[in-house]
Structure 1
């Protein structure tokens, strides 16, 4: 801030600075007052006046200084569930209006000293090859291993550069199995009843070691097997009594930064679930969707309606619907309904490389609602 005294000359003046009419800097020989770095507590109205011996200038008009929090950009990923061969777009949004932001892009890796890291040091950040761009979007072109993992952006402007905080790291997942490890689920389905048990484990192949089970939920973007669950090993979690907050996306992650396939798990507090395969099914196979009731032994074969994208497509007396040959036209949201109630929806995806996958709606909604 600079205090200019009109018609008073530039020499022999001392300067007084006031914050909200309270004197805080009574003796300054220079007409400038610098605050570096600024904090929110510096926000207020500032005035100044000049002093030369017993002579005082008029007090300046007030200047309002507003210091806001360091902005945090929001990163969105599309698509967030990856089909083989898909291009992936990362978009970095900053609330503060400006046209001169430049954007930096990162992928999460296990914590390593010397790399930039998230505040809780749960992950370090590995810059992508074309790290700084003037555009607020970045296109990933997957080649070789799937780019499953977390992604982060940060914006900066000015010289010297003023940087925002790092974004929270949304994850990009693939349901396809990788050769070194896969996530297995027992019982082998994506929807489960509340109060039942569930086991998730990292199935290792070859000499792979050091895998840990991870979880993404609506309220926590990543966590390990919770201490309230019974953990057999770091790579296996057994949940003895499921609750609705157990829903989430699960995957396996190694200390070297490799990732397994991911699985959406939905826990339903109702009486009906739709059973569907956890892992991809090859296009052309016969696939059976089963409507399961909480008290199945009392109603082994109920008349069941099956819906696709909200439209009734089939009535069955056995509680099962079979798709003889899965094709692209079978993509959509599926659910079942009977006198016992209605299941959550499951999304049926027919993979571009002739694979088929069903994922549950609820965690998918959690992942996409803030994009």
Structure 2
């Protein structure tokens, strides 16, 4: 009986277990922690069991989205977003082939942590020693964040702040590294994601290079363009100084080029540039000084453009030639563009034949500054060339216009040309004229006509702008002064020579007069014996005057007494017994020596007439003249 009872009991137990294995007890799945929203990185535990049963008697199978993935009664993991799924587990009894069944499905919804984004101000790279840099960590959702700042490969924060900015006030070499950030707080979610990484490069303070559009002296009236080159990073504004490196003396066009539209003598001198960026402004070093010399002497070679205008349509052809009064052999066409900087025609943008550069099909990339340059570095004046895709261009001159000359501007169009040619012409953005012929004329150009010109057609649109320069004759007054000064100097020298000749001749005449008087003295006695009265030396006064200035000294020195004219000026006769006598004054004329093939010229003595007193010969009772 007892054996039978034991057998029955064992049978019942086996039946119970078999019933369990056949699903009489359904397994249960639990989730800890039980939350409607789970964030990535949080720990979640899934547990599967049969109530009242020993866990070791059962085998477990985890199924996610109908795919088996785990074989334990629990699953613990730092969950990720891609693990948002439907979960269930199934239980198998180890001692038989039956199973108890599967749990109900549990859906886990995993939410990504808030995103942290790191930005840097300034945005450019590299930054330079001494420059200020600010890192900013932005988290778009939730609030009450504490910001953690990380550098390099370390997972330990280098700084923590309640604000979302981290500033390096004066960057140095040791600040060069990678940076990132994230947010932390006391509420779920307790942290944000790590931000993106930002690399910070720190370089030495830069020094820009200052160059000119051409070498050599700048021709007065022509344009000159200076370039402040700074290839490192971006965001720069440019400052220009003349004569002195002084912030008070700086001009601020803020572009990397500085244009002198029409060079004058006062534009000569030293120039510097520097760049700055950020707030407060961080400045680079000053460039080296660049000397600008001016001249009124044109360079030996000029750049000739065909078609001769500054604006051209894309797809058109263009010819650039170095021409001059002298041989242009060895001169080459060069250009400056923002993309290629300075380059030769032979570098690929044109074909070279001698000193001519040809471009078969223009594109907007050909827009730039062109000039001729010799092998020794001498350069012509530069020419601005603009290539456009517009339907209209302004036909404006290539080289500066001389003040006082006429100027005609044309508005040109792509084919087919419009039937209505009416165009508006603008200077510096202001409307000047509206012409139905499509052209505008300035009859007499003045310095005030300098500026940026463009034209506008009602259907074809606007042309680009072109600068027109006016060359003034600044050097003309100086030249006149020089010429007049030289003329006066020459005249003064001639007058000095004439004065010297005059004084020499005067002394010579006085010597002749004295010799004549002496001769007459010596012959006085003979004349008395022969009935002639001598000229008394004490009564002779010689004054001579040159009537014709400029006569040569040899002509003036060969003068003789030609005659003594008797003057009919008589004094009243007095009584013979009182010794009174009649006195006659004779006028001496000076006559020049005859020259071959010339009419005899006389130099008469007027104011300086020589009078001699002739005494009456009482023996003969008559007056004799001196022959």
The normalised TM-score by structure 1 is 0.55
Instruction: Please say if 1:90 is aligned against 2:271.
Output: yes
SS of 1:245's partner is helix
CA distance in 1, matches of 2:353, 2:303: 14
Contact 1:229 1:240 in 2 (8 A): no
Q: Which residue of 1 aligns with 2:316?
A: 196
Q: Kindly indicate whether residue 279 of structure 2 is the aligned counterpart of residue 142 of structure 1.
A: no
8 Å contact kept, 2:262–2:470? no
1:284 pairs with 2:404: yes
Q: Which position in structure 2 is the counterpart of 1:105?
A: 288
Preserved contact between residue 83 and residue 352 of structure 1 (Cα < 8 Å) = no
SS in structure 1 of the partner of residue 380 of structure 2: strand
- The residue aligned with 1:308 is 427
Structure in which a larger fraction of residues adopt strand: 1
Structure 1 match to 2:365: 245
* Alpha-carbon spacing, 1:218–1:192, altered in 2? closer, same or farther (3 Å): same
- Whether the 8 Å contact between 2:422 and 2:437 is mirrored in structure 1 is yes
Name the stretch that deviates more: 228-237 or 254-263: 228-237
- Mapped to 1, the partners of 2:275 and 2:423 lie a distance apart of 48
Structure 1 portions without partners, runs of 5+: 1-18, 22-38, 45-65, 108-139, 146-176, 356-371
* Superimposed CA distance per residue, residues 19-40 of structure 1 (whole angstroms, 9 cap, x where no aligned partner): 999xxxxxxxxxxxxxxxxx96
Partner of 1:133: none
Change (3 A) 1:43 1:342: closer
Asked if structure 2 preserves the Cα contact closer than 8 Å seen for 1:73 and 1:92, the reply is: no
Checking the alignment, whether the CA contact within 8 Å between 2:205 and 2:285 is kept in structure 1 is no
**Structure 1's 289 and 67: CA in aligned 2 closer, same or farther, altered over 3 A?**
closer
Q: Distance in 2 between matches of 1:329 and 1:42?
A: 55
* Other-structure match for 1:132: none
Structure 1 partner of 2:207: 73
In structure 2, C-alpha distance between the alignment counterparts of 1:195 and 1:293, rounded to whole Å: 14
Correspondence 1:216-365 to 2 at 5 A:
216-233=336-353, 235-295=355-415, 298-299=417-418, 301-338=420-457, 339-353=459-473
* Kept in 2: contact 1:79–1:89 (CA 8 A): no
Show CA shifts across 1:251-271 (max 9, x none).
111111101111000001010
Give secondary structure in 1 for the equivalent of 2:365: helix
Measured at CA, do residues 103 and 331 of structure 1 come closer, stay the same or move farther in structure 2, by a change above 3 Å? closer
Given that 1:215 and 1:250 are in contact with CA atoms closer than 8 Å, whether structure 2 keeps it comes out as: yes
* Superposition deviation, residue 143 in structure 1: 4.6
Q: Secondary structure at the match of 1:329?
A: helix
Q: CA deviation at 1:291?
A: 0.3
Contact 1:84–1:351 (8 Å) recurs in 2: no
Distance in 2 of aligned mates of 1:314 and 1:249:
29
Alpha-carbon distance in 2 for matches of 1:103, 1:243? 36
Residues 273 and 94 of structure 1: CA distance in aligned 2, closer, same or farther (over 3 Å): closer
Match of 2:305 in 1: 185
**Gap change, CA 1:72 and 1:284, over 3 Å in 2:** same
How many Å separate the matches in 2 of 1:226 and 1:141?
29
The answer to which structure, 1 or 2, has the higher relative contact order (CA under 8 A, 6+ apart) is 1
Question: Could you tell me how far apart the structure 1 residues matched to 2:424 and 2:392 are?
Answer: 12
| Count of aligned pairs | 236
Which region of structure 1 is more displaced relative to structure 2, 265-274 or 200-209? 200-209
1:154-190 deviation per Cα after TM superposition (whole angstroms, max 9, x unaligned): xxxxxxxxxxxxxxxxxxxxxxx83411101000000
Q: Distance in 1 between matches of 2:363 and 2:311?
A: 12
Change in 2 beyond 3 A, CA 1:41/1:199: farther
Q: Per-residue deviation at 1:346?
A: 1.6
Q: Which residue of 2 aligns with 1:162?
A: none
The equivalent of 1:36 in structure 2 is: none
Normalized against structure 2, the TM-score is what?
A: 0.34
Larger Rg: 2
CA–CA distance in structure 2, aligned partners of residues 308 and 94 of structure 1: 31
Q: Secondary structure at the match of 1:105?
A: coil
Query: What RMSD, in angstroms, separates the aligned Cα atoms of the two structures?
Result: 3.6
